[in-house]
Amino acid sequence: MEICETDALVLSAALAAGEVSAVEVMQATLARIATWNGAVNAIVSLCDDDAVMAEAAEADKTPSKGWLHGIPIAIKETGNAKGLQTCKGSPLLLGQVAEHDDIAVGRLRAAGAIVIGKTNVPEFGLGSHSVNPVFGATRNPYDTSRSAGGSSGGAGVALATGMTCVADGSDIMGSLRNPAAWNNVYGLRPSHGVVPSEPRGDTFLQEIATNGPMARSPRDLAAMLDTMAGPDPRQPNVAAHAPSLPQMHGDLTGLRIAWLGDWGGAFAMEPGVIDLCAAALTSMEAQGQRVDVLSAPFDLDAMWRSWITLRSFFLAGHMSPLYADERMRGQLNANVLWEIEKGLSLRAMDVHKASVVRSDWFKTAATLFETYDVLALPSAQMWPFDVTLDWPREINGVQMDTYHRWMEVVVPASLIGLPAISVPVGFGGPDDLPMGLQLIGRRGADAKLLQLAERWHQATHWPRMRSPKVPT
């Protein structure tokens, strides 16, 4: 068994059967990190080797806690893992050690996972390019001169390189989908409320972010979701979740997909992105799904204005204490300042109007789902860009007016809390780089999306077919 290339559920079964030990898994993991991490900078704040080896030895001596028993995992740097630093890539928070696990992290540990470090992110998790002044940039393993995406960029790279077999992440604006696409793996933004966030601050109004899983196979993604999901009694907007792993081989007969392409020309796209995604949908048709090309179903400009209003409202609510401290304010980067100041300038009616647009899009999407089971869009509008850029200023000659406009394609799912999975669809563009396709379902249809992704995976096995090569 090549431990670092093995899917998590397969590895879990081997550990349970005594075919491999947790010590052997940890040794292989640390060796893979030593081989890869210097080139890609995906895992940061690594735990001491002796400490995690001791945890692995203890796992071999104790009864199984769950399916993750003895499996190493690195937690996204924006999340709290007890005893590890959580600085979110910001010098302002450097040295801040978590006293408690976040809810999702605690659930992964309770299932037996051994936390070995954190995965890199943009500063404060803002933007889809994992670079920050504390740890530097995470590089794409398929071309280390390119971005790995974000904000779960370190997680995507750790998976692609075999440094971990599963990963956690979070998604406001594509942070589980863009890095999955650019690293040839899978990422699932669950239906809003399936995986709880932390019960801090406002838990009623600000519904645009969610935690979720990443993996190299849909079955592992389902197992991770089932572990992370479940209500928290301190939070009001929770959603029921029936375990998705037992449903992985459900009936997909008659499943219909609406291909939204570039939203009638509204999304700027680099050459080749649409063609590669469309080719993947043609292959899905050959597997028995029906695919229809759909015209733009909603005013994209209205959706974008709603999105940036609600996003800034959300971020200002969480981050304004930093802004209130003049010393800290002077050290915030331009993107963080822009979001907070925009949020602080909003009036109550601005937020109300944005939420009305969100409500209108939700109703429109509900009508679409009367006919279609899945909406499909590219996971990104461009191929992985130069790692030295802070963010792309244009796409195919179209100027981007904000630091995140180049990722507008993820907004239709994020704005209304729909589940969306990014599946790898191959390689393309002038430099033969990875791309993904978003499959978006109605709220609560997480298992159906995982079923479709599993059928696609069994036909393509993209993560295994095109593993990255260690840079020489």
Domain ranges of the chain: 3-465
* 312 confidence band (pLDDT: 50, 70, 90): very high
Q: Which of 12, 76, 147, 197 is catalytic?
A: 76
Given a cut of 90, whether residue 160 has pLDDT beyond it is yes
One-letter amino acid identity for 210?
A: T
How high is the pLDDT of residue 207?
A: 79
Among candidate residues 151, 191, 306, 312, the one labeled active-site is: 151
- The pLDDT, as a whole number, for residue 205 is 85
Q: Measuring CA to CA, which residue among 297, 240, 293, 290 is closest to residue 452?
A: 290
What tokens appear for 212 in the block?
A: 């979720």
Q: How confident is the model at residue 371 (pLDDT cuts 50, 70, 90)?
A: very high
pLDDT in tens, 268-277: 999 999 999 9
Give the tokens for residue 347. 């009036």
pTM: 0.98
Which residues fall within 8 angstroms of residue 110, CB to CB, at 6 or more apart?
65, 66
Mean pLDDT confidence for 324-341 = 94
- Is the pLDDT at 253 greater than 80? The verdict is yes
76 is a catalytic site residue: yes
Q: How many helices and strands, by DSSP H and E, does the chain display?
A: 15, 17
DSSP character for 190? Answer: P
- In the structure, what pLDDT confidence band is assigned to residue 409 with cuts at 50, 70 and 90? very high
Are the C-beta atoms of 416 and 358 separated by less than 8 Å? yes
pLDDT at 451: 98
Binned at pLDDT 50, 70 and 90, residue 1 comes out as confident
Judge whether 428 and 380 are in contact, CB under 8 Å.
no
Read off the pLDDT of residues 51-73 as tens digits, 9 standing for 90 and up. 999 999 999 999 999 999 999 99
Mean per-residue pLDDT over the chain, rounded:
97
Q: pLDDT by residue (tens digit) across 270-305?
A: 999 999 999 999 999 999 999 999 999 999 999 999
pLDDT, average across residues 365-379: 98
Domain 3-465 CATH class label: alpha beta
pLDDT at 248 over 90: yes
Per-residue pLDDT, 449: 98
The verdict on whether 151 is a catalytic residue reads yes
Q: Which band of pLDDT confidence, cut at 50, 70 and 90, is reported for residue 144?
A: very high
pLDDT of 227 > 90? The answer is yes
Mean pLDDT of 334-342: 96
pLDDT surpasses 90 at 423: yes
Whole-number pLDDT of residue 44: 97
Beta carbons within 8 Å of 238's beta carbon, 6+ residues apart: 193, 196, 231, 232
Across 412-426, average pLDDT: 98
Q: What angle do CA 193, 196, 199 make, to 5 degrees?
A: 115
Clarify whether 175 is annotated catalytic.
yes
> Which residue did the predictor score with more confidence, 471 or 313?
313
Q: How many CB atoms lie within 10 A of CB 227?
A: 24
* Angle between helices 218-228 and 103-110 in degrees, nearest 10: 110
Q: Check 45, 90, 175, 422 and give the catalytic one.
A: 175
pLDDT at 206 over 80: no
Q: Provide the 3-class DSSP secondary structure of residue 414.
A: helix
**Per-residue pLDDT at 184:** 98
CB atoms within 10 A of CB 203: 17
Rounded to an integer, the average pLDDT of 30-39 is: 98
